[in-house]
Homo-oligomer: A and B are copies of this chain.
Amino acid sequence: MKRISVLDVAREAGVAPGSVSRALNNGKHVSADLRSRVHDAARRLGYQPNAQARGLRLGRSNTVGMLINDMRHPMYARVVAAVERELSLRGRMMLLADAQNEIQREQAVIQTFQRCALDGAIVGASFHPVAATAAHYEGNRLPLVLIDRDVPSMDRVCMERRNGMRTAVRHLLALGHRRIALFTPALDRVPGGERVAGYMDAFRQAGLNADMRHVPTLASPLDDGRDPLLRLLDQPGPPTALICLGTRLLSGALHALRQRSLRIPEDFSVIAIGSTEMMELANPPLTCLRMDLDGVGRSAARLLLRRLDEPGVHAPERVEVETELVVRDSCGPAPGRR
């Protein structure tokens, strides 16, 4: 059972191969009769045009690459889902590759993408510094959209964290908290750095001093937040609230609170950074800083598709996705303030 090609359809319909192509692709100069004969023949034979041959001839693949850096992270997975959805809506396919946070693999993936003659690619967030990775992509001939890497010369979708963090801290300050812990990994990278900046903004704007002892250095989001929080709780002037990335860091921190018999929100307030659905499992449901991950994926896909559809050269575009504070039940007045 060999593969069916245009020639088979042509023979079946009694027309020339070229006409088959024209008829099936809604070409301009083709009679209604020929068109229907070709369509019938194609259906009869179950003809499926070969995308590789088509792509080779046309110089494009109708496929977009998606480079992600850790698919196991639910946040990133969500972005991928949104990208896929938007692409399929616009008739394009998605080739997914996971670089697993290794810069070297990222390079290799982009090379693979080029070999596959992809129309373009979306490069997902990375745990690595922006500058180091950015250099490789500038002047690339494959149309690229970066996510969460703010390289001015390229199309990109950036996640706003500073304002969001400011809002969160302000929320706690308004409740009377003054000693607020912040658990976010890698303060020297963009995400962590931006959060700390927002954190300090809020204190400064309130005319207060932030105590940076409450912003410990944490290596990885996969670290357990229990010990760091216990350390803070046991020192003089312990925090009365915590803003924490919603990963293992958070489950560890919650564990620490239970261990010290601190009730949420009566004795201690918590704001999580991340998925709202997960935070509903906690008791009580956690107030959290939420990001529109669907929006991130959708924007990235649209940015790329626009770039592909519009031939001319445009200035690099920047889309910013905001963070939203979702208020639940995990924040209360600072203890002893009432």
Binding site for B on A (CB under 8 A): 1, 48-53, 55-56, 61, 63, 66, 70-72, 74, 77-78, 80-81, 84-85, 88, 93-98, 100, 111-112, 114-117, 141, 246, 248, 250-251, 254-255, 258, 277-285
A281-B284 in contact (CB<8A): no
Q: Which of B1, B112, B254, B283 has a CB less than 8 Å from the CB of A258?
A: B283
- Bound state CA distance, A285 and B224, in angstroms? 15
Minimum C-beta distance from A78 to chain B (A): 6
Minimum C-beta distance from A76 to chain B (A): 9
Contacts of A100 in B (CB 8 A): 85
A88-B93 in contact (CB<8A): no
Known A71-B81, A93-B95; 15 more pairs at CB < 8 Å = A48-B115, A52-B55, A52-B61, A70-B81, A71-B77, A74-B74, A77-B77, A77-B80, A80-B96, A81-B98, A84-B96, A93-B97, A96-B96, A248-B277, A278-B281
Contacts of A70 in B (CB 8 A): 81
Contacts of A246 in B (CB 8 A): 281
- Bound state CA distance, A214 and B18, in angstroms? 66
Q: Please provide the 3 A-B residue pairs with the shortest distance between their CB atoms, ordered closest to farther.
A: A77-B77, A71-B81, A251-B280
**Given A74-B74, A248-B277, A254-B283, A98 contacting B88 (CB threshold 8 A):** yes
**Given A52-B56, A277-B251, A84 contacting B97 (CB threshold 8 A):** yes
Cross-chain pairs A/B with CB under 8 angstroms, 10 sampled? A50-B117, A51-B117, A52-B52, A66-B96, A71-B80, A93-B116, A94-B96, A251-B285, A278-B281, A282-B282
Minimum C-beta distance from A330 to chain B (A): 11
- Bound state CA distance, A114 and B61, in angstroms? 14
Minimum C-beta distance from A42 to chain B (A): 13
Contacts of A248 in B (CB 8 A): 277, 280
